[in-house]
Structure 1
Amino acid sequence: MKTVQAIKKPNESFVLQNPVPLNEPLVLVFGNRYMLENEQIYDEVKALFPNGHIVFGTTSGEIIDDKVLDGTVVLTAIEFEKSFVLVKRCNVNDFQNDDEKLGERLIAEFPKEDLKHLFVISEGSTVNGSALIEGLEHLKNTSFGLSGGLCGDDDRFERTLASYNENPKEGEIIAIGFYGDSLEITSSNFGGWTTFGPERIVTKSEGNLLYELDGKPALDLYKKYLGEKAVELPKSALLYPLSVKATEDSEPLVRTILNIDEVENTMTLAGDVPEGSRVQLMMSSIDDIANGASRAAELAMDGRTNSPELALLISCIGRKLVMDQRTEEEIEEVKAVIGNNTVISGFYSYGEMAPFSGQDSCKLHNQTMTITLFSE
């Protein structure tokens, strides 16, 4: 595996950190939404890697090595020497916002023989990540792993962009298939958030749209908890996500709010909130988040045969808001576990995709550090 990384700052060109020739590399470009709206961005990357498979995604912060940047573009180009990648795309507008059907169509485009892993970079403004995963895994008993994340737009929640081999645009969902016997790919996630306050029952919901808790309008109840911070919704919701337990025995999933509808008194979450679920508010601290990142790295390393050569980190914008000036500490915690020889890239997101430890089925998470490790 060969890699090249680069950083682009506003009104500057990409600065390559370790330039070496690459043949048909996978080029992952994560960046600030305003910078990826520049009509020249694809041509600029294409000039650097003429035969590359170029994938874009907007962020709520860019990760490169042990650094967290804002308002930049980070690029990681990877040449796999013993394996290969296949990249496919779909747009939510072509499926009448039926995200499960989109997932089914997307996975149908990938040959299953030797498919080791599917890494997804999805638009993050409207997608129901739970439904998307259901579609991608609808065949069940699949032998490949699945991880990835939803694009971000800082804390603006205006629009997110992604693309494959073209300028970034809205509604795109990109899937990258990794093929080859020589590949070892592991993924994990961990949060570090704790519940507080009374447990409520979801009495009315539809997919990822939450109407009522305990028979009362969910948005009104949530605003009551937030108090004066309610005027900052949906941004302030990132500091107080919901823990969702679909059944008594199920693992709790963390859900943050993507949008609110003042007229309908509803909240749109990043993933499903089934009726009958039990929900509680959550909060966290800087130390809890840093420790959670370290635990995520330990889970990703557990049972690996080879040392990782590449790590893709997707962490949540909510974690970044809590960490503030100390955000890089969670990246440093990951690096301390996976080693200094691992190339690190990634971004802060509106949602993360990974299985729980010891499980095969992928889930949509919020407020977690999600890590995917690669070696060949």
Structure 2
Amino acid sequence: MISKTIKANSTEAIIKEIDKVTSNKFEPTLAIVFLSIKQDWNAIRNVLDKKGIAIFGATTSGEFIDGEIEEGSIVIMLLDMNLEYFKLVFLETGERSTFENAKQMGFEGKNTFKNPAFIVVSGWLSQDGENIINGITEGFGTDATIFGGMAGDDLKLEGPIVFSNNTKSDQGLLALIIDQDKIEVNGIATCGWKPIGTTKTITKSEGNVVYTIDDKPALDMIVKYLGAELDFDSGKEIVTQIGAYYPLQMERENMPPVMRTAMFTNTEDRSLICAGNVPQGSKVKFSLPPDFDVIEKVIEECNELKNEKQQEADALIMFSCISRLLSFGILMSEELEQVQQVWGAPMIGLFTYGEYGKSKTGKHEFHNNTCCVVTLKEKI
């Protein structure tokens, strides 16, 4: 399987790149499209559709390609994957819940391939991360392979979208279902963040809203404990100042912690609204801001994946939390470059509002502040 990556900063430029790459005996069947919500995704979709190319698309909060970070741009990976080896499924939350749609996706995968993998992108379904994982698992089975991420919208926090050839929605759920008997799909969800301080208890929460930590208002606890100085005028102060630098690590027995990012705050009741559920009674720790050790941990786990499961790859897809970009700064490029160098394959990715994937010793689940790396390799 051949994969080729292209990028541009405008619709006109990316169309020229698409024409150029498809004019030299390369006949792609699938396009993975990640782009800024400012770009004309509809025009790009029309060009690809006219060429008979299936589209797996999402808006971003930043995109990257072959180790290089872009901003406000368009990145595309074109693959000549056999049409019989994959299927796209698009469902929209509305009359049916996200969980019911995800369950239907699980059924679709089970009925299409004996051994499917699900690569998923979701729109503005910020409270449904666990529902998407649980729904697919309910429909397919507990051993479902699930990787992906929540689309972004340049941190506007208004409504990211996902799209395919004939459909788009900010409430959409899009799955690229791949036949693992024909295409090897392996991945790792890894973060590298280090915990700090003592274990604390979520004493009051409901879904993804945390009201109190150790019986103290959640926001006050973070401000006092971390000595954070917050500007509440920007409207994005939680994502950019707390979520990026001080995510919560939910501890679990015999499993790695799962990260939770604070996305919003309610200044009246001093609660935190997180990008993922935080059950009442959960044990949590805060995290240290990242340094080179975080990147080293990520690369170590990628190398373990390569050595144990996936020696070679035809393509890499990476879903990385926007909080990593905000907190890493210039270090982010270092992480992306080193991840690509592990396999040396073409790579495409986006910065997300949440990630789906499997940690080294865990199960497939919903993450924050994590990077999820997916490798594709056609079997001979």
TM-score by length of 1: 0.89
Q: Distance in 2 between matches of 1:227 and 1:86?
A: 47
Of 344, 348, 360, the match for 1:345: 348
User: In 2 relative to 1, CA 63–300 (structure 1 residues): closer, same or farther, beyond 3 Å?
Assistant: farther
Corresponding residue SS for 1:251: strand
| Farther-moved stretch of structure 1 (3-12 vs 192-201) | 3-12
Aligned residue type for 1:288: D
Corresponding residue SS for 1:233: helix
Matches within 5 A, 1:151-230: 151-166=151-166, 168-179=168-179, 181-224=181-224, 225=226, 227-230=228-231
Q: Deviations over 1:188-226 (max 9, x none)?
A: 122121112343211122222222212232233234445
Aligned residue type for 1:35: Q
Aligned residue type for 1:109: E
Does residue 1:31 correspond to 2:35, yes or no? yes
Matches within 5 A, 1:1-376: 1-10=1-10, 12-14=12-14, 15-16=17-18, 18-19=21-22, 20-21=24-25, 23=27, 25-36=29-40, 39-47=42-50, 50-81=51-82, 83-95=84-96, 98-110=97-109, 111=111, 113-124=113-124, 126-138=126-138, 141-166=141-166, 168-179=168-179, 181-224=181-224, 225=226, 227-231=228-232, 232-236=237-241, 237-245=243-251, 247-304=252-309, 306-339=311-344, 342-359=345-362, 361-376=363-378
Q: Distance in 1 between matches of 2:28 and 2:376?
A: 18
Q: Distance in 1 between matches of 2:227 and 2:136?
A: 36
Q: Distance in 2 between matches of 1:160 and 1:82?
A: 28
- Where does the alignment leave 5 or more consecutive residues of structure 2 unmatched? none
Q: CA deviation at 1:254?
A: 0.6
Aligned residue type for 1:268: I
Q: CA deviation at 1:68?
A: 1.1
Q: Distance in 2 between matches of 1:285 and 1:256?
A: 14
Corresponding residue SS for 2:121: strand
Q: Deviations over 1:124-171 (max 9, x none)?
A: 552321221011112575454111111122333232111121464311
- Where does the alignment leave 5 or more consecutive residues of structure 1 unmatched? none
Q: Distance in 2 between matches of 1:154 and 1:345?
A: 17
User: In 2 relative to 1, CA 92–248 (structure 1 residues): closer, same or farther, beyond 3 Å?
Assistant: same
User: In 2 relative to 1, CA 154–286 (structure 1 residues): closer, same or farther, beyond 3 Å?
Assistant: farther
Contact 1:100-1:132 at 8 Å conserved across structures? yes
Contact 2:123-2:170 at 8 Å conserved across structures? yes
Q: Distance in 2 between matches of 1:84 and 1:285?
A: 39
Q: Distance in 1 between matches of 2:287 and 2:131?
A: 24
Q: Distance in 2 between matches of 1:51 and 1:102?
A: 26
Q: Distance in 2 between matches of 1:23 and 1:10?
A: 23
Matched positions, count? 367
Aligned residue type for 1:212: T
Q: CA deviation at 1:328?
A: 1.3
Contact 1:218-1:265 at 8 Å conserved across structures? yes
Aligned residue type for 2:76: L
User: In 2 relative to 1, CA 22–84 (structure 1 residues): closer, same or farther, beyond 3 Å?
Assistant: farther
Aligned residue type for 2:246: Y
